[in-house]
Amino acid sequence: MIENEAQTENAQQEIMSENVSQENHMHEEDLTLIQGIIDVFWIEDDGITVLDYKTDRVDTAQELIDRYATQLKLYADALERVFATRKLKVKEILIYSFRLEKLISIE
């Protein structure tokens, strides 16, 4: 877990530095700021897995998918940009629901 937190901090720093360097190449109307914190991600030989913990009071996994799929896909896109030089892609996006006590895969 500590290693994942360190990876998250490093990734956030890389994202910030990449955004700064890209700022000069983007038109103001093209710039969209997205802010968030990735709970956990890890890197394996075949790609990156993103895991987000949710405590929402929901009755179905689909509610969480509908609510958070876009956010988590944006996180995945950001990670792929950060690790582009290593040619790493996100292979899996997961939500763990404490309410449902279930691991949910985002397609």
Show the tokens assigned to 71: 């956010």
Long-range contacts from 62-71, C-beta under 8 angstroms, 24+ separation: 64/95, 64/97, 64/100, 64/104, 65/95, 65/104, 65/106, 68/95, 68/106, 69/106, 71/36
pLDDT of residue 15 exceeding 80, the answer is no
Domain that holds residue 48: 2-106
Rounded to the nearest integer, the mean pLDDT of the chain is 83
Q: Is the pLDDT of residue 7 over 80?
A: no
Looking at the chain, the whole-number percentage of residues with pLDDT higher than 70 is 70
Tokens describing residue 102: 């279930």
pLDDT at 28: 55
- Structural domains in the chain (count): 1
CATH number, position 16: 3.90.320.10
Judged by DSSP in three states, 24 sits in: coil
pLDDT digits (tens, 9 = 90+) for 29-79: 666 777 889 999 999 999 999 999 999 999 999 999 999 999 999 999 999
Q: Smallest Cα–Cα separation from 8: which of 54, 50, 61, 66?
A: 50
* Predicted model pTM: 0.70
